[in-house]
Amino acid sequence: MAISDEVRNHKITLTEDEMPTQWYNIVPDLPAPPPPALHPGTHQPAGPEDFAPLFPMALIMQEVSQERYIDIPGGVLDVYRQWRPSPLFRAHRLEQALGTPAHIYYKYEGVSPAGSHKPNTAVPQAYYNAQEGIKKLVTETGAGQWGTALAFATALYGLECEVFQVGASFDAKPFRKLMIEVFGGVVHRSPSQLTEVGKMLASDPKNLSGSLGIAISEAVEVAVKDPETRYALGSVLNHVLMHQTIIGEEALLQLAKVGETPDLIVGCTGGGSNFGGLAFPFLREKMAGKINPRILAAEPASCPSLTRGVYAYDFGDTAGMTPLMKMHTLGKDFIPDPIHAGGLRYHGMAPLISHIYELGLMDAEAVAQTECFSAAVQFARTEGIVPAPEPTHAIALAIREALKAKETGEETVILTALCGHGHFDLAAYDEFLRGGMVDEDVTDERFAAALANLPDMGDSSY
């Protein structure tokens, strides 16, 4: 690369005074309301009381809220301001390496204490639980980003934290577990022998590598058994996605500062919180006719709930303990290949994103992991940040688009979310650099069995 003495505007920052002080709830702005969650026994809409053993009332009210904006409490803003507003970067050096006229922007959430976007919701979840007198939170984690974030957040408010980590990630990423322990959390490999559901599922060898669905079942079982314990979910639910909208709200302000209008917004999707957090504020502007970006979900080829799942009522967990949610699903029994992007290995997609996808307001594409890591290494060597495996899916699609722009000569403005760093994922990079990484099994047979086993909705009108 040539030596240049140009000083470019890589980083678009906001002052703390410019930081949004409200979360955005997209529900009231949608052209049709999302289908309700259903009680698994009655198949009737689940009410707040059905969620009460799992969540504090403040979060249940947010889950079903029709308010467009919800104030972020001062005690949460206080913590957010340790790392927020997060920087928006222009990827000048990546653009230069690609030789593209496209403008590539990435909103970087790896600056948070836990190294990902997850504290944006972990902090308010811990805050509201502490406020309602809860003593302990229990949760699942895949790659460990969510578990780390919740352990960080619970430490701040004096809560205990117990984490069931997906077996494949527990084995592959010991440092994430250690980081949870440094924050004072307790970590179990899932499926464990500590819960009834864990013991039951562990008896089937196919479940031994674990899945988010299995770990959720274990965490839910622990939560419902103790009145001073609640469950915390790191994605999927409306209130979780809403907490993440601070990402997109900041990015809107930051792009406006440099006078850019996005043509493409691309984010990786596992349960949907990173994607929803980035995209929903832009979707609001799009629905209002102010901008017209393509909004694109990047999902893993191993677990393509939007592009190869069905839109149906399904359980959020493997054991079938949660309310039924209408979502794009590969079936609650689906165990994805143990790819490195452990945070994307979830059988379902957030009901809100599934609904928005059905409304035709967004697109989705699946990417195989070797393309992702190839993109990630190019990104690291130009931008200097080693991405977590999850956002490499979005980086891969951003690079595809930037190379298209190179052919057409268009100055396409691309925005993506770099939702976390890959400091705990270097074994995956090692595998890639040594040529040992393989792509996922994407044959129809891989997905058929779990898809054939969706809940029987009988004569439910939902």
User: Using alpha carbons only, how large is the chain's radius of gyration in Å?
Assistant: 21
By CB under 8 A, tell whether 423 contacts a copy of itself. Answer: yes
362 lies in the site for a copy of itself, by CB under 8 A: no
Do the strands 363-367 and 413-418 form a parallel or antiparallel pair, or are they unpaired?
Answer: unpaired
Nearest to 265 by CA among 303, 227, 291: 291
Q: Which of 206, 225, 290, 381 contacts a copy of itself by CB under 8 A?
A: 381
114 binds a copy of itself (CB under 8 A): yes
Strand stretches in 114-228, DSSP E: 136-141, 160-166, 186-190
Q: HEC string of 261-283?
A: CCCEEEEECCCCHHHHHHHHHHH
CB of 386 to a copy of itself, least distance (A): 6
Residues 134-163, one symbol each (x = binds a copy of itself by CB under 8 A, - = not), give ------------------x--xxxx-----
The residue among 156 and 341 lying less far from a copy of itself, judged by its C-beta, is 156
Q: Shortest gap between Cβ of 92 and a copy of itself (angstroms)? A: 9
337 touches 370 (CB < 8 A)? no
| Nearest one of 62, 24, 21, 59 to 280, comparing CA atoms | 24
Stretch that binds a copy of itself, among 161-169, 195-203, 355-363, 376-384 (CB under 8 A): 376-384
Contact range with a copy of itself by CB under 8 A, out of 246-254, 286-294, 360-368, 422-430:
422-430
Binding of residue 20 to a copy of itself (CB under 8 A): no
Which SS3 state, helix, strand or coil, does residue 230 take? strand
Q: Which two tokens stand for residue 175?
A: 């440092």
The reply to whether 113 sits near a copy of itself by the rule CB under 8 A is: yes
Instruction: Dump strand ranges (E) for 185-332.
Output: 186-190, 229-231, 264-268, 294-300, 310-315, 324-329
Please name the residue ranges forming H helices in 52-166: 57-63, 74-80, 92-98, 119-131, 145-157
Q: Which is nearer to a copy of itself, 27 or 187 (CB)?
A: 187
Sign of CA dihedral 325, 329, 333, 339: negative
Report which residue type is found at 48.
Answer: P
Choosing from 55, 105, 127, 313, the residue that interacts with a copy of itself (CB under 8 A) is 127
b/e sequence 334-359, b meaning 16+ C-beta within 10 Å: bbbbbbbbbbbbbbbbbbbbbbbbbe
Report if residue 53 touches a copy of itself, rule: CB under 8 A. Answer: no
Stretch touching a copy of itself by CB under 8 A, among 82-90, 318-326, 400-408, 437-445: 82-90
Q: Does 131 bind a copy of itself (CB under 8 A)?
A: yes
- Stretch 161-200: interaction string toward a copy of itself, x if CB under 8 A: -------------xx--xx-xxxx----------------
The interface mask with a copy of itself, positions 55-74, x = CB under 8 A, is: ------------------xx
Report how far residue 62's alpha carbon sits from residue 65's, in angstroms, rounded to the nearest whole number.
5
Contact set with a copy of itself (CB under 8 A) = 1, 3-8, 10-11, 13, 15-16, 73-75, 77-78, 81-83, 89, 93, 111, 113-115, 127, 130-131, 152, 155-158, 174-175, 178-179, 181-184, 377, 380-386, 423-424, 426-427, 429-430, 433
